[in-house]
Structure 1
């Protein structure tokens, strides 16, 4: 799980830095950032090595990240606080989009570049969407006893509504980073049923992630 988080954290740093550099050269409301699965692996291994260094010398860079993951000091509580869950889901949104656009570029109808891209707006969009879907999961599963395939349609309807709402809002200020107008079964170029299998997969995966995050023992650093 730590390697998973370190890779996701590294991709987030890549996106933030590349987006800032691109915006400085040519201001673009879409605020696009770039990374790749290769860099994700590199970040995972590098941060894991730094973690080992931290265990020997706690004042190294990224100490806050390692305190959070290793649980240094304080009293523990089950599950991550809501703010940290939102941040986790936002970073995971970057991971999802970087991997998807990378493989689309390399294997699909993209431009063949060896990197994926996302937008800084995706952090807020994915973070908030996944946060709400997780609340739906806890309510529908634990309070109502709904099974996975009874919950998934609710998730998917919400996801499409969320994507459409964000798309409409971002499009009004020229900040929308996606356009599905050339895809079949699209609506206003902002949502498409072509991605339905992907959203179903991510909905099921979201439940698994929520279970993992709930088992995390959060220990605030002193």
Structure 2
């Protein structure tokens, strides 16, 4: 479980750096500057707890699965942001400037991105399952 947590954390970091790098290009930054936060490694690592959900809803069509993942990701993003704000006094991400923000902790207009991310994490899970049949991870 620890190895999978690390893999999900690293995958999430990479995904976020690509996302923010692409976003910087759209703002005119040809260096494609991407960023993330150390906290995000641990938050993305929590995807290990979605594995049972992947397996229980795998028979449903991708729209239902992606929608469920979007809702779950919003819940985790909101909860972890709220906890960090309470413990540290600040949340590393701040969506307060967006009209789609909920308490500065989530952005509802990111739903399509989280929809895709959830399906990607599902693919990583099934890939890890195939690999673990050869090696123990």
TM-score by length of 2: 0.86
SS at match of 1:218: coil
Larger radius of gyration: 1
Once residues 136 and 118 of structure 2 are traced to their aligned partners in structure 1, the CA distance between those partners, rounded to angstroms, is 28
Query: What does 1:17-32 correspond to in 2, within 5 Å?
Result: none
Q: Would the aligned equivalents of 1:183 and 1:194 in 2 still touch at CA under 8 Å?
A: no
Distance 1:139 1:171, change over 3 A: same
Q: Does residue 1:132 correspond to 2:49, yes or no?
A: yes
Once residues 40 and 94 of structure 2 are traced to their aligned partners in structure 1, the CA distance between those partners, rounded to angstroms, is 14
Instruction: Give the aligned length.
Output: 133
Alignment partner, residue 18 of structure 2:
99
Alignment partner, residue 117 of structure 1:
35
Higher strand share: 1
Deviations 1:169-219 (A, max 9, x none): 112213522111111221001101111110111112222222211110215
Which sections of structure 2, spanning at least 5 residues, go unmatched? none
What is the deviation of 1:106?
2.4
Out of 90, 110, 124, the position equivalent to 1:195 is 110
Which sections of structure 1, spanning at least 5 residues, go unmatched? 1-81
Relative contact order: is structure 1 or structure 2 higher (C-alpha 8 Å, sep ≥ 6)?
1
Out of 68, 88, 95, the position equivalent to 2:7 is 88
Once residues 101 and 107 of structure 1 are traced to their aligned partners in structure 2, the CA distance between those partners, rounded to angstroms, is 10
Deviations 1:89-127 (A, max 9, x none): 000111011111112122237xx3733111111011011
Query: What does 1:58-69 correspond to in 2, within 5 Å?
Result: none
Write out the 4+ residue segments of structure 1 that deviate beyond 4 Å after TM superposition: none
Alignment partner, residue 163 of structure 1:
77
Q: Would the aligned equivalents of 1:184 and 1:194 in 2 still touch at CA under 8 Å?
A: no
- Root-mean-square deviation (CA), in Å? 2.0
